[in-house]
Amino acid sequence: MPVKLALAGVGNCASVFVQGLRFYSGKETKGLWHPVVAGLAPKDLSVVAAFDVDSRKVGRDLSKALFEAPNVARRYADIPPSGVKVSPGILKGQVAPHLEGEKLSSSTRKTVAGELEKSRTDILVNLISSGSDASSEEYARAALEAGCAFVNCTPSLVLKNRVLAAQFGRAKLPLVGDDLMSQFGGTVFHKGLLGLMIRRGVKVSKSYQLDVGGGSETLNTIDEGIKMAKREVKTTSVSSEVPYKFETVAGTTDFVDYMGNDRTSYFWFEGAGFMNSGISVDVYLRSADGANAGNVLLDVLRATSSSARSKETAKAQEICAYGFKSPPKHEKFDVAYEMFAKSFVSR
Protein backbone atom coordinates (compact mmCIF):
# COMPACT_ATOMS: atom_id res chain seq x y z
CA MET A 1 0.00 0.00 0.00
CA PRO A 2 1.48 3.39 -1.00
CA VAL A 3 2.60 5.75 1.74
CA LYS A 4 0.62 8.97 1.34
CA LEU A 5 2.53 12.17 2.04
CA ALA A 6 1.43 15.77 2.50
CA LEU A 7 3.96 18.58 2.13
CA ALA A 8 3.79 21.70 4.27
CA GLY A 9 5.90 24.15 2.30
CA VAL A 10 6.54 23.83 -1.44
CA GLY A 11 10.07 25.26 -1.52
CA ASN A 12 13.40 24.09 -2.88
CA CYS A 13 13.66 21.00 -0.69
CA ALA A 14 10.14 19.91 -1.64
CA SER A 15 10.94 20.51 -5.31
CA VAL A 16 14.01 18.27 -5.32
CA PHE A 17 12.34 15.62 -3.17
CA VAL A 18 9.33 15.26 -5.47
CA GLN A 19 11.67 15.16 -8.46
CA GLY A 20 13.56 12.39 -6.66
CA LEU A 21 10.38 10.34 -6.25
CA ARG A 22 9.85 10.62 -10.00
CA PHE A 23 13.51 9.93 -10.85
CA TYR A 24 13.57 6.74 -8.76
CA SER A 25 10.08 5.53 -9.68
CA GLY A 26 11.50 2.87 -12.01
CA LYS A 27 14.69 0.84 -11.98
CA GLU A 28 17.11 3.76 -11.68
CA THR A 29 19.25 3.53 -8.51
CA LYS A 30 22.24 5.75 -9.33
CA GLY A 31 22.83 8.11 -6.41
CA LEU A 32 20.22 6.37 -4.25
CA TRP A 33 21.74 5.62 -0.84
CA HIS A 34 19.25 2.97 0.31
CA PRO A 35 17.04 1.48 -2.42
CA VAL A 36 14.87 -0.21 0.21
CA VAL A 37 14.10 1.02 3.74
CA ALA A 38 11.54 -0.73 5.95
CA GLY A 39 10.53 -2.80 2.94
CA LEU A 40 9.67 0.30 0.92
CA ALA A 41 11.13 1.58 -2.35
CA PRO A 42 10.80 5.23 -3.48
CA LYS A 43 7.94 4.25 -5.81
CA ASP A 44 5.92 3.30 -2.72
CA LEU A 45 5.66 6.96 -1.65
CA SER A 46 3.26 9.46 -3.21
CA VAL A 47 2.31 13.07 -2.49
CA VAL A 48 -1.44 13.47 -2.03
CA ALA A 49 -1.63 17.01 -0.58
CA ALA A 50 0.48 20.16 -0.40
CA PHE A 51 0.26 23.47 1.47
CA ASP A 52 1.95 26.84 1.09
CA VAL A 53 1.22 30.47 1.96
CA ASP A 54 2.82 32.04 -1.11
CA SER A 55 0.04 33.07 -3.51
CA ARG A 56 2.34 32.35 -6.45
CA LYS A 57 2.03 28.65 -5.59
CA VAL A 58 -1.42 28.33 -4.02
CA GLY A 59 -4.03 26.93 -6.42
CA ARG A 60 -1.44 25.62 -8.89
CA ASP A 61 -0.83 21.98 -9.68
CA LEU A 62 2.07 20.74 -7.56
CA SER A 63 4.05 19.95 -10.73
CA LYS A 64 4.04 23.68 -11.59
CA ALA A 65 4.31 25.09 -8.08
CA LEU A 66 7.55 23.18 -7.46
CA PHE A 67 9.33 25.42 -9.97
CA GLU A 68 7.56 28.68 -9.16
CA ALA A 69 9.54 31.66 -7.82
CA PRO A 70 11.21 32.09 -5.42
CA ASN A 71 12.29 28.44 -5.86
CA VAL A 72 15.71 28.11 -7.50
CA ALA A 73 16.32 24.35 -7.25
CA ARG A 74 17.52 22.69 -10.43
CA ARG A 75 15.37 20.55 -12.68
CA TYR A 76 16.61 17.01 -12.34
CA ALA A 77 13.49 15.29 -13.69
CA ASP A 78 10.34 16.20 -15.59
CA ILE A 79 7.25 16.18 -13.37
CA PRO A 80 3.92 15.43 -15.08
CA PRO A 81 0.68 16.99 -13.80
CA SER A 82 -0.05 15.45 -10.43
CA GLY A 83 -3.69 16.32 -9.86
CA VAL A 84 -2.61 17.72 -6.47
CA LYS A 85 -3.30 21.42 -6.13
CA VAL A 86 -1.39 23.44 -3.56
CA SER A 87 -3.77 24.57 -0.80
CA PRO A 88 -3.39 27.63 1.43
CA GLY A 89 -1.15 26.77 4.37
CA ILE A 90 -0.91 27.85 7.98
CA LEU A 91 0.52 31.27 8.74
CA LYS A 92 0.90 32.01 12.42
CA GLY A 93 3.43 34.30 14.07
CA GLN A 94 6.44 35.59 12.21
CA VAL A 95 6.41 35.85 8.40
CA ALA A 96 9.54 34.44 6.75
CA PRO A 97 11.87 37.25 5.61
CA HIS A 98 11.77 36.14 1.96
CA LEU A 99 7.96 36.48 1.94
CA GLU A 100 7.78 40.02 3.32
CA GLY A 101 5.93 42.20 0.82
CA GLU A 102 4.53 39.21 -1.10
CA LYS A 103 0.84 38.40 -1.42
CA LEU A 104 0.04 35.60 1.01
CA SER A 105 -2.80 33.13 1.25
CA SER A 106 -3.40 31.28 4.51
CA SER A 107 -5.81 28.85 6.10
CA THR A 108 -6.64 27.48 9.55
CA ARG A 109 -5.41 24.44 11.42
CA LYS A 110 -8.91 22.94 11.28
CA THR A 111 -9.08 23.30 7.51
CA VAL A 112 -5.61 21.79 7.02
CA ALA A 113 -6.50 18.89 9.33
CA GLY A 114 -9.67 18.33 7.29
CA GLU A 115 -7.68 18.17 4.06
CA LEU A 116 -5.23 15.73 5.61
CA GLU A 117 -8.13 13.49 6.63
CA LYS A 118 -9.81 13.79 3.23
CA SER A 119 -6.60 12.83 1.40
CA ARG A 120 -5.95 10.04 3.94
CA THR A 121 -2.45 11.35 4.53
CA ASP A 122 -0.10 9.04 6.44
CA ILE A 123 2.71 11.55 7.08
CA LEU A 124 2.73 15.35 7.07
CA VAL A 125 6.21 16.60 6.16
CA ASN A 126 7.06 20.06 7.50
CA LEU A 127 9.30 21.88 5.01
CA ILE A 128 8.28 25.48 5.71
CA SER A 129 10.74 28.35 6.19
CA SER A 130 13.18 28.58 9.10
CA GLY A 131 11.96 30.82 11.90
CA SER A 132 8.26 30.01 11.43
CA ASP A 133 8.06 28.31 14.83
CA ALA A 134 4.39 29.00 15.60
CA SER A 135 3.33 27.76 12.16
CA SER A 136 5.38 24.57 12.58
CA GLU A 137 3.62 23.76 15.85
CA GLU A 138 0.22 24.45 14.28
CA TYR A 139 1.00 22.03 11.46
CA ALA A 140 1.99 19.42 14.06
CA ARG A 141 -1.35 19.92 15.82
CA ALA A 142 -3.16 19.60 12.48
CA ALA A 143 -1.41 16.27 11.89
CA LEU A 144 -2.39 15.12 15.38
CA GLU A 145 -6.02 16.05 14.78
CA ALA A 146 -5.99 14.23 11.44
CA GLY A 147 -4.37 11.13 12.93
CA CYS A 148 -1.18 11.17 10.86
CA ALA A 149 2.54 11.16 11.65
CA PHE A 150 4.52 14.41 11.61
CA VAL A 151 8.09 14.87 10.37
CA ASN A 152 9.63 18.26 11.20
CA CYS A 153 12.48 19.09 8.84
CA THR A 154 12.76 22.70 10.07
CA PRO A 155 14.88 24.10 12.94
CA SER A 156 11.73 24.82 14.97
CA LEU A 157 12.03 22.77 18.15
CA VAL A 158 8.68 21.02 17.89
CA LEU A 159 9.81 17.89 19.74
CA LYS A 160 10.88 20.02 22.71
CA ASN A 161 7.20 20.87 23.26
CA ARG A 162 6.55 18.24 25.93
CA VAL A 163 2.77 18.62 25.84
CA LEU A 164 2.64 18.09 22.09
CA ALA A 165 5.12 15.21 22.24
CA ALA A 166 3.04 13.52 24.94
CA GLN A 167 -0.12 13.90 22.86
CA PHE A 168 1.53 12.21 19.88
CA GLY A 169 2.74 9.46 22.21
CA ARG A 170 -0.74 8.79 23.57
CA ALA A 171 -2.12 8.69 20.04
CA LYS A 172 0.69 6.26 19.04
CA LEU A 173 1.65 8.55 16.17
CA PRO A 174 5.33 9.14 15.29
CA LEU A 175 6.61 12.67 15.94
CA VAL A 176 9.97 12.96 14.20
CA GLY A 177 12.56 15.79 13.99
CA ASP A 178 13.94 18.41 14.48
CA ASP A 179 15.99 20.06 11.68
CA LEU A 180 16.82 17.58 8.92
CA MET A 181 20.52 16.75 8.56
CA SER A 182 21.75 16.43 4.97
CA GLN A 183 23.46 13.31 3.62
CA PHE A 184 26.82 15.03 3.23
CA GLY A 185 26.20 18.60 4.36
CA GLY A 186 28.10 20.86 6.71
CA THR A 187 26.86 19.45 10.01
CA VAL A 188 27.48 15.76 9.33
CA PHE A 189 30.82 16.55 7.67
CA HIS A 190 31.86 18.62 10.70
CA LYS A 191 30.75 15.85 13.08
CA GLY A 192 32.46 13.18 11.00
CA LEU A 193 35.85 14.89 10.92
CA LEU A 194 35.68 15.66 14.63
CA GLY A 195 34.86 12.01 15.32
CA LEU A 196 37.82 10.88 13.21
CA MET A 197 40.18 13.22 15.08
CA ILE A 198 38.92 11.95 18.44
CA ARG A 199 39.24 8.30 17.39
CA ARG A 200 42.82 8.97 16.25
CA GLY A 201 43.75 10.42 19.63
CA VAL A 202 43.86 14.10 18.65
CA LYS A 203 42.92 16.52 21.43
CA VAL A 204 40.57 18.93 19.67
CA SER A 205 40.63 22.49 21.01
CA LYS A 206 38.70 24.55 18.43
CA SER A 207 36.65 24.28 15.26
CA TYR A 208 34.33 26.39 13.17
CA GLN A 209 31.96 25.95 10.25
CA LEU A 210 30.87 28.93 8.13
CA ASP A 211 28.15 28.42 5.50
CA VAL A 212 27.36 30.65 2.51
CA GLY A 213 24.52 29.89 0.11
CA GLY A 214 21.69 31.04 -2.11
CA GLY A 215 17.97 30.32 -2.12
CA SER A 216 15.22 31.44 0.23
CA GLU A 217 16.32 29.13 3.06
CA THR A 218 19.69 30.86 3.33
CA LEU A 219 18.05 34.28 2.91
CA ASN A 220 15.79 33.53 5.87
CA THR A 221 18.66 32.21 7.96
CA ILE A 222 20.68 35.44 7.79
CA ASP A 223 17.90 37.17 9.75
CA GLU A 224 19.69 37.80 13.06
CA GLY A 225 17.18 36.03 15.29
CA ILE A 226 16.85 33.00 13.02
CA LYS A 227 20.61 32.92 12.45
CA MET A 228 21.38 32.66 16.17
CA ALA A 229 18.72 30.01 16.76
CA LYS A 230 20.01 27.95 13.82
CA ARG A 231 23.60 28.42 15.00
CA GLU A 232 22.64 27.07 18.44
CA VAL A 233 21.10 23.95 16.90
CA LYS A 234 24.10 23.28 14.64
CA THR A 235 26.69 24.00 17.33
CA THR A 236 24.94 21.72 19.83
CA SER A 237 24.79 18.93 17.27
CA VAL A 238 28.48 19.30 16.42
CA SER A 239 29.52 19.50 20.08
CA SER A 240 27.81 16.19 20.85
CA GLU A 241 30.48 14.39 18.82
CA VAL A 242 33.26 15.32 21.28
CA PRO A 243 33.30 13.87 24.84
CA TYR A 244 34.68 17.06 26.41
CA LYS A 245 34.14 20.79 26.12
CA PHE A 246 35.94 22.65 23.37
CA GLU A 247 35.41 25.86 21.44
CA THR A 248 33.25 25.53 18.33
CA VAL A 249 30.86 27.59 16.21
CA ALA A 250 28.72 26.42 13.28
CA GLY A 251 26.32 28.56 11.30
CA THR A 252 25.32 30.50 8.19
CA THR A 253 27.25 33.69 7.57
CA ASP A 254 25.91 35.12 4.30
CA PHE A 255 23.48 34.91 1.38
CA VAL A 256 24.64 35.09 -2.26
CA ASP A 257 21.68 35.11 -4.63
CA TYR A 258 23.49 33.81 -7.73
CA MET A 259 24.48 30.61 -5.91
CA GLY A 260 20.91 29.39 -6.35
CA ASN A 261 20.27 26.27 -4.27
CA ASP A 262 24.01 25.62 -3.77
CA ARG A 263 25.90 26.03 -0.52
CA THR A 264 29.58 26.32 0.37
CA SER A 265 30.88 25.43 3.80
CA TYR A 266 34.28 26.36 5.22
CA PHE A 267 35.74 24.38 8.12
CA TRP A 268 38.73 24.91 10.36
CA PHE A 269 39.93 22.53 13.07
CA GLU A 270 42.72 22.90 15.63
CA GLY A 271 44.04 20.16 17.86
CA ALA A 272 47.13 18.66 19.45
CA GLY A 273 48.92 15.37 18.93
CA PHE A 274 52.07 13.75 20.34
CA MET A 275 53.97 16.04 22.76
CA ASN A 276 51.34 18.73 22.14
CA SER A 277 52.37 19.05 18.49
CA GLY A 278 49.93 21.20 16.60
CA ILE A 279 47.45 19.83 14.05
CA SER A 280 45.20 22.07 11.97
CA VAL A 281 42.79 21.34 9.14
CA ASP A 282 41.18 23.67 6.58
CA VAL A 283 38.42 22.21 4.39
CA TYR A 284 36.03 23.56 1.74
CA LEU A 285 32.79 21.78 0.78
CA ARG A 286 30.27 22.67 -1.93
CA SER A 287 26.91 20.96 -2.38
CA ALA A 288 23.32 21.45 -3.57
CA ASP A 289 21.01 21.92 -0.58
CA GLY A 290 17.88 20.23 -1.88
CA ALA A 291 19.64 17.24 -3.40
CA ASN A 292 21.79 16.84 -0.29
CA ALA A 293 18.63 16.44 1.79
CA GLY A 294 16.89 14.02 -0.57
CA ASN A 295 18.39 10.68 0.48
CA VAL A 296 18.00 11.31 4.20
CA LEU A 297 14.43 12.57 3.87
CA LEU A 298 13.51 9.56 1.75
CA ASP A 299 14.98 7.24 4.41
CA VAL A 300 13.28 9.08 7.27
CA LEU A 301 9.85 8.97 5.65
CA ARG A 302 10.01 5.26 4.86
CA ALA A 303 11.15 4.48 8.40
CA THR A 304 8.45 6.75 9.87
CA SER A 305 5.82 4.92 7.85
CA SER A 306 7.03 1.63 9.30
CA SER A 307 6.92 3.07 12.82
CA ALA A 308 3.38 4.34 12.25
CA ARG A 309 2.14 1.02 10.89
CA SER A 310 3.62 -0.99 13.75
CA LYS A 311 2.65 1.59 16.43
CA GLU A 312 6.25 1.28 17.70
CA THR A 313 6.69 4.98 18.37
CA ALA A 314 9.83 4.24 20.43
CA LYS A 315 11.54 3.58 17.08
CA ALA A 316 11.02 7.27 16.28
CA GLN A 317 14.03 8.08 18.50
CA GLU A 318 16.29 6.04 16.20
CA ILE A 319 14.90 7.92 13.21
CA CYS A 320 15.44 11.27 14.94
CA ALA A 321 19.04 10.47 15.92
CA TYR A 322 19.83 9.29 12.38
CA GLY A 323 18.27 12.07 10.38
CA PHE A 324 18.18 15.27 12.44
CA LYS A 325 20.44 17.87 14.01
CA SER A 326 18.32 18.35 17.13
CA PRO A 327 16.84 14.97 18.14
CA PRO A 328 15.48 14.35 21.65
CA LYS A 329 18.70 12.44 22.38
CA HIS A 330 21.95 13.02 20.50
CA GLU A 331 24.00 10.03 19.36
CA LYS A 332 27.39 10.01 17.64
CA PHE A 333 26.65 9.90 13.95
CA ASP A 334 28.13 6.44 13.31
CA VAL A 335 26.22 4.98 16.28
CA ALA A 336 23.02 6.65 15.07
CA TYR A 337 23.49 5.17 11.60
CA GLU A 338 24.05 1.64 12.92
CA MET A 339 20.92 1.86 15.09
CA PHE A 340 18.86 3.04 12.12
CA ALA A 341 20.30 0.48 9.72
CA LYS A 342 19.68 -2.39 12.13
CA SER A 343 16.00 -1.46 12.46
CA PHE A 344 15.10 -0.27 8.99
CA VAL A 345 17.62 -0.85 6.19
CA SER A 346 17.23 -4.02 4.16
CA ARG A 347 20.52 -5.88 3.84
CA dihedral 58, 126, 173, 43 (to 10 degrees): 80
User: What is the distance of C-alpha 234 from the center of its chain?
Assistant: 13
Residue 270: exposure state from Cβ atoms within 10 A (0-12, 13-18, ≥19): middle
Mean per-residue pLDDT, 200-207: 97
Concatenate the DSSP letters of all residues of 187-221 into one string. HHHHHHHHHHHHHTT-EEEEEEEEEEE-HHHHHHH
Q: What is the pLDDT of residues 260-269, one digit of tens each?
A: 999 999 999 9
Indicate whether 340 pLDDT > 60. yes
Q: Angle at which helices 289-310 and 12-23 pack, to 10 degrees?
A: 70
Indicate whether 230 pLDDT > 90. no
Which structural domains are found in the chain, ordered by start?
3-181+291-344 (3.40.50.720), 186-288 (3.30.360.10)
Q: What is the pLDDT of residues 117-164, one digit of tens each?
A: 999 999 999 999 888 999 999 999 999 999 999 999 999 999 999 999
pLDDT band at 229 (very low <50, low <70, confident <90, very high): confident
DSSP annotation of 293 reads H
**Separation CA 20–CA 12 (nearest Å):** 12
**Separation CA 6–CA 57 (nearest Å):** 15
Indicate whether 347 pLDDT > 70. no
**Maximum distance among all alpha carbons in the chain?**
67
Concatenate the DSSP letters of all residues of 88-113 into one string. EEE--SSPPGGGTTS-B-EE-HHHHH
Note the pLDDT of residue 232: 87
Q: What is the pLDDT of residues 25-47, one digit of tens each?
A: 999 999 999 999 999 999 999 99
Give the rounded percent of residues in the chain with a pLDDT score beyond 90.
83
CA dihedral 291, 284, 281, 332 (to 10 degrees): -10
Indicate whether 231 pLDDT > 70. yes
Note the pLDDT of residue 328: 94
Note the pLDDT of residue 144: 98
**Separation CA 344–CA 338 (nearest Å):** 10
